[in-house]
Amino acid sequence: MAVTRLVRKGKRNKAVAKNALKAISRATAQPVIKKVEIEELKKQFEA
């Protein structure tokens, strides 16, 4: 008895897993921390 492979289902499963990993990595990505001069910001708001 021959065994058939479900190619489309395999591709779909891989795509779903890949998309889930990408979504998790996007959600947990931290933005770049920029050094901010607090005194400069205060001067801008005073003017």
The DSSP string of 2-15 is -----HHHHHHHHH
Integer Rg of the chain from CA? 25
pLDDT classification of 3: cutoffs 50, 70, 90: confident
Q: Reduced to 3 states, what is the DSSP secondary structure of residue 43?
A: helix
Q: What is the pLDDT of residue 12?
A: 97
Q: What is the pLDDT of residue 46?
A: 83
What are phi and psi for residue 4, nearest 5 degrees? -100, 145
Give me the numbers of helices (H) and strands (E) for the chain, helices first please.
Answer: 2, 0
How many CB atoms sit inside 10 A of residue 20's CB?
10
Q: Where are the domains of the chain?
A: 7-46
Query: What confidence tens digit (pLDDT) does each residue in 4-46 have?
Result: 889 999 999 999 999 999 999 999 998 888 898 889 889 888 8
